[in-house]
Amino acid sequence: MLEFGKYDYFCDKVQMAVCLLVGDSPLGIKPSCYARNIEIAGSIIFQAGRREMIMVFYLYLAVNLLDILTISGFISFASSAYPYFVAGYLALTTTMCWCLMLNGFVGFQWAEDGTYTSLWTFRVTSAIVFGVMYFVSIATFKDAVSLKRTDPVGIFTIYFIFNLLFLLIYVVSQIILVVNTLDEYWPLGNICFAVVFFAAGQVIQLFLSSKICTAIKHYVDGLFFGTICTLLSVMMIYKYWDSITKEDLEFSVGGKGNVWEVKDYINPDDEFAPYAGQVNNGMYQDNSSNYQDQYMNNSQNEYGVYNNDMPRGNNQQYNY
């Protein structure tokens, strides 16, 4: 039966890193069914604004690496370092959700993205969130500061309630941003897909894992499909972010064309300056008088008559 602050129900359904460190038993809570590791030749195969957003993806990478190390048994449960790795995994997960929520406010220009104010706000607050969750996790695993592993309500509240709250704030903020700021609503489709994939992954992982594991005879469990759905959700978040940025060079189904910016302008003194020009009202205007004079001198035929196809002088205009 599902109880608030208790991991018994979830840990019975799916194998989670924290399950071995909480519960009444000294050995933690074991799932009723979990996928078996495959051993081949002694190795184990496991189941597996721009600068602000990339912090989320770095954290997601770190979360998956720690998840692999703890779930797969690469770091033994008997090791004294195991609780610290699990605490790091939980803290990084919460920090990633917090960082994603902050990214939801970047579009409202509370601070110019990419500046010291924006970046250091992300770094400092993320470090604080990481430290709080890490401390709560370690204190719970070690039965310190009135926190007990038999009643991990602190970890449960932060991991399930606060993380979900951070994600909901991000989704709502992006819906408001798109509706009030953009002229088209295509990016909302990416957000909807991200929400659907994430919700499906959590349902499969937390409620259907044991049934999947039993049906497939321990080859895979809900954690496998939940991880894939979470990955798809992160990919859709990236696609959404990419679709609302100014420089989008990918194929877009939106009605508006891509915005192109000229980063380097041609200096009139450069060797390629003769090919520079301006387009005014559908007419091409060549501004390089030196090139025209030189070209006119070289374009005379043997009778001293200019070729009709050659430019006549400065500011000559012709259709293109």
Q: What are phi and psi of 255, to 5 degrees?
A: -80, -20
104, 107, 108, 109 alpha-carbon torsion, rounded to 10°: 120
User: What does the block give as tokens for 93?
Assistant: 């997960």
Of 205, 216, 219, 211, the closest CA to residue 11 belongs to: 205
Report the pLDDT averaged over residues 163-174: 95
- Best-predicted range by mean pLDDT among 137-146, 267-276, 283-292, 309-318? 137-146
User: What does the block give as tokens for 61?
Assistant: 């990478």
- Helix, strand, coil fractions of the chain, as percent rounded to 5: 55, 5, 40
Q: Looking at per-residue confidence, does 183 or 26 come out higher?
A: 183
C-beta separation of 243 from 252 below 8 A: yes
* Whether the predicted pLDDT of 266 surpasses 60: no
The Cα 228–Cα 47 span in angstroms is 10
Of 155, 164, 172, 251, the closest CA to residue 202 belongs to: 164
The Cα 59–Cα 96 span in angstroms is 6
- The vertex-187 CA angle with 185 and 189, nearest 5°, equals 90
If pLDDT is split at 50, 70 and 90, which confidence band does 320 have?
A: very low
C-beta separation of 201 from 227 below 8 A: yes
The Cα 19–Cα 27 span in angstroms is 9
Interval 173-201: pLDDT, tens: 999 988 888 777 888 999 999 999 999 99
Question: Which pairs count as long-range contacts for 131-136, CB under 8 Å and 24+ apart, including other chains?
Answer: 131/91, 132/158, 133/87, 133/90, 133/91, 133/94, 133/95, 133/158, 134/87, 134/88, 134/90, 134/91
User: What does the block give as tokens for 206?
Assistant: 């937390």
C-beta separation of 209 from 221 below 8 A: yes
Question: Is the pTM for the entire model greater than 0.75?
Answer: no
Interval 73-112: pLDDT, tens: 788 888 889 999 999 999 999 999 999 999 988 877 777 7
* Whether the predicted pLDDT of 63 surpasses 50: yes
Question: Under 8 Å CB-to-CB from 263, ≥6 apart: which residues?
Answer: none
Report the pLDDT averaged over residues 3-26: 72
Output the pLDDT for position 146: 85
Q: Which helix (H) or strand (E) holds 39?
A: strand 38-40
Output the pLDDT for position 314: 47
Cα separation values, 175 from 133, 191, 225, 250, 275, Å = 29, 8, 27, 22, 46
- 45 by Cβ neighbours in 10 Å (0-12 / 13-18 / 19+) ranks as exposed
